[in-house]
Amino acid sequence: MDQRRDIEVDQTQTKVERKSDSSLVASTFIKYLAYVIIFFGALYFLVRYVFPMF
């Protein structure tokens, strides 16, 4: 009672594709650039106008 089965193994290679949407990258860059500009603007305001009052 030796049953032999032929099993076909389908090997597929998974390929990782990185999709880089340039508009998404640009909008993220602009968003974080705006955060940095606002931060340094607030810091400049504190140093220039608030700290001299003390």
CA dihedral 42, 43, 44, 46 (to 10 degrees): 90
SS3 18: coil
**What local confidence, expressed as pLDDT, does residue 53 receive?**
87
pLDDT tens for each residue of 19-50: 668 899 999 999 999 999 999 999 999 999 99
- Rounded Cα gap, residues 9 and 44, in angstroms: 66
Task: Tell me the average pLDDT of the chain.
Answer: 84
- Rounded Cα gap, residues 14 and 7, in angstroms: 21
Both structure tokens of 12: 């597929």
